[in-house]
């Protein structure tokens, strides 16, 4: 078995719009952490798999296809054997929405592909092993039942009207240890479910995965690549409503990255890396999913919101107001047209006893937990925001009934999550049956 890993700096020029908080202008003024595209290429027998993870909030299908094509052209790895995902950092490169961003995207796509091309060139005899840990102090379900029976997203720290959380978290920390033939560390793949939305401001940052990488490099050396795959965290973030951590003392991204980095290192040290070849396999399925039909109370909310905010100058709106106005406009536009649909890819890759499931968009944690519980593999990584799915929430049916922030979108039909879970499990069982 041969494995190569590489990381390529993709930090954009200053002055570009940083996405993640709606339409409010948010031009990059500095760099907290450099942004990267990271890649791992695995060869076993006659099969090659490539995994690329990009420090970006989301990626569109055409960009994903161009990245895969460049990797194929330079390495011969078939496009369907290349998995492309996002860390979902909210302080990363722009979306391709204006002239400056569109001019930058060919460079972003080429460098993202180059990470895999470089990893391909660095392949060497390697050992691999999987382990799991647990961490429940940095992730919180952000949806809450309030005492009046409603559900709110992020209702505020120490809000006396909070009753209880709506759902679970996924505390599992999955770790893939990768060593060379001499037992020296080459890289670590890690997987955890919590939003990369801990920084805000106008400086580029890889968020807490950047600090996981710092911790790993401090422990094992600067050449060791830390490749983080984002778990199912559509309704999970870092905000503890009990207020037990003061980010003014230690910023969230630093605290979370250090805690997770140490747990990842602890698991790595207890995990044996085997030298024998691992069976590699990959399969994918494109599914046509329609947009969601709006309910009458949602249309009424949009009309009421625009009546309140529509006449206010854009520069007087808060970020929250600007986001609500934009959502209201999108809702009313959607209400007047037939439901559109598009194809989304669900992909699964197997590396011996490890499976990696690539899912579209921002997946609620319940779906990730279901896939893990029913997977035939000993270890299952959920790798969301994959395959050029763009952004948007894939919610549980109950969430649409209860409201809150996440169900405000119209991109995914209410049954989308169940369809993605079904497809993922069918692919996993198909791969497992080949072994």
19 phi and psi, to 5 degrees?
-85, 175
C-alpha span between 221 and 187 (Å, rounded): 10
Digit-coded pLDDT (tens) for 130-142:
999 999 999 999 9
52 has a pLDDT exceeding 80: yes
pLDDT band at 125 (very low <50, low <70, confident <90, very high): very high
pLDDT number for residue 119: 98
99 has a pLDDT exceeding 90: yes
Cβ pair 214, 254 in contact under 8 A = no
433 or 141, which is more confident: 141
DSSP for 290-312 reads EPPPPPHHHHHHHHHHHHHHTTS
421 has a pLDDT exceeding 80: yes
pLDDT band at 261 (very low <50, low <70, confident <90, very high): very high
pLDDT number for residue 331: 79
Cβ pair 5, 39 in contact under 8 A = yes
Digit-coded pLDDT (tens) for 153-197:
999 999 999 999 999 999 999 999 999 999 999 999 999 999 999
DSSP bridge pairs for 173:
133
Digit-coded pLDDT (tens) for 308-366:
888 888 878 887 788 888 888 887 887 778 889 999 999 999 999 999 999 999 999 99
Q: Which of 212-226, 258-272, 332-346, 393-407 has the lowest mean pLDDT?
A: 332-346
Digit-coded pLDDT (tens) for 186-214:
999 999 999 999 998 999 999 999 999 99
376 has a pLDDT exceeding 90: yes
C-alpha span between 6 and 379 (Å, rounded): 24
pLDDT number for residue 435: 61
Task: Read off the pTM.
Answer: 0.95
Q: What angle do CA 48, 50, 54 make, to 5 degrees?
A: 175
27 has a pLDDT exceeding 90: yes
Average pLDDT over the chain, rounded to whole? 94
Digit-coded pLDDT (tens) for 211-247:
999 999 999 999 999 999 999 999 999 999 999 988 8
231 phi and psi, to 5 degrees?
-80, -175
22 has a pLDDT exceeding 80: no
pLDDT number for residue 20: 84
Which DSSP letter does residue 178 get?
E
Give Cα 2 to chain centroid, integer Å: 27
C-alpha span between 416 and 265 (Å, rounded): 36
Residue with tokens 């290192």: 265
Cβ pair 123, 268 in contact under 8 A = no
> Which residues neighbour 311 within 8 Å (Cβ) at sequence distance 6 or greater?
none
pLDDT number for residue 72: 98
C-alpha span between 187 and 75 (Å, rounded): 21
C-alpha span between 375 and 39 (Å, rounded): 25
Secondary structure of residue 421 in the 3-state scheme:
helix
Tokens of 277: 């070849």
Cα-based torsion angle of the residue sequence 185, 186, 191, 196 in order, rounded to the nearest 10 degrees: 110
Secondary structure of residue 29 in the 3-state scheme:
coil
Over range 112-121, report the average pLDDT: 98
């Amino acid at each position: 078995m041969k494995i190569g890993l590489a990381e390529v700096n993709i930090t954009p020029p200053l002055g570009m719009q940083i996405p993640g908080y709606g339409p409010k202008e948010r031009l990059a003024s500095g760099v907290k952490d450099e942004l990267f595209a990271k890649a791992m290429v695995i060869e076993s027998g006659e099969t090659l798999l490539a995994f690329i993870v990009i420090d970006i909030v989301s990626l569109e299908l055409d960009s994903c296809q161009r990245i895969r094509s460049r990797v194929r052209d330079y390495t011969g790895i078939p496009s369907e054997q290349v998995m492309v995902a996002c860390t979902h950092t909210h302080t990363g490169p722009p979306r391709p929405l204006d002239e400056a961003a569109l001019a930058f995207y060919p460079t972003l796509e080429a460098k993202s592909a180059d990470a895999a091309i470089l990893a391909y060139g660095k392949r060497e005899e390697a050992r691999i092993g999987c382990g799991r840990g647990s961490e429940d102090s940095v992730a919180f379900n952000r949806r809450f039942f309030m005492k009046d029976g409603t559900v709110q997203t992020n209702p505020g720290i120490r809000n006396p009207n909070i009753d209880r959380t709506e759902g679970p978290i996924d505390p599992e920390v999955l770790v893939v240890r990768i060593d060379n033939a001499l037992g020296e560390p080459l890289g670590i793949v890690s997987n955890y479910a919590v939003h990369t939305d801990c920084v805000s401001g106008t400086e580029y940052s890889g968020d807490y995965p950047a600090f996981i990488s710092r911790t790993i490099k401090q422990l094992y050396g600067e050449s060791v690549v830390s490749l983080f795959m984002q778990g199912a965290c559509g309704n999970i973030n870092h905000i503890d409503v009990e207020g037990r951590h003061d980010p003014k003392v230690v910023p969230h991204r630093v605290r979370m990255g250090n805690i997770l980095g140490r747990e990842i290192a602890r698991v790595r040290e207890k995990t044996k890396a085997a030298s024998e070849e691992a069976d590699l396999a990959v399969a994918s399925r494109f599914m046509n999913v329609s947009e969601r039909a709006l309910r009458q109370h949602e249309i009424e909310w949009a009309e009421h919101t625009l009546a309140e905010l529509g006449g206010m100058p854009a520069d007087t709106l808060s970020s929250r107001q600007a986001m609500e106005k934009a959502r209201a406009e999108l809702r009313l536009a959607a209400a007047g047209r037939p439901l559109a649909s598009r194809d989304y890819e669900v992909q699964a890759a197997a590396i011996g006893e490890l499976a990696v499931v690539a899912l579209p968009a921002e997946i609620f944690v319940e779906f990730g937990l279901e896939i893990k519980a029913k997977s035939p593999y000993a270890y299952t990584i959920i790798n969301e925001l994959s395959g050029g799915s763009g952004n948007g929430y894939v919610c549980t049916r109950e969430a649409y009934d209860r409201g809150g922030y996440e169900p405000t979108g119209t991109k995914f039909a209410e049954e989308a999550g169940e369809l993605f879970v079904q497809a993922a499990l069918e692919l996993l069982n198909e791969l497992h049956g080949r072994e």
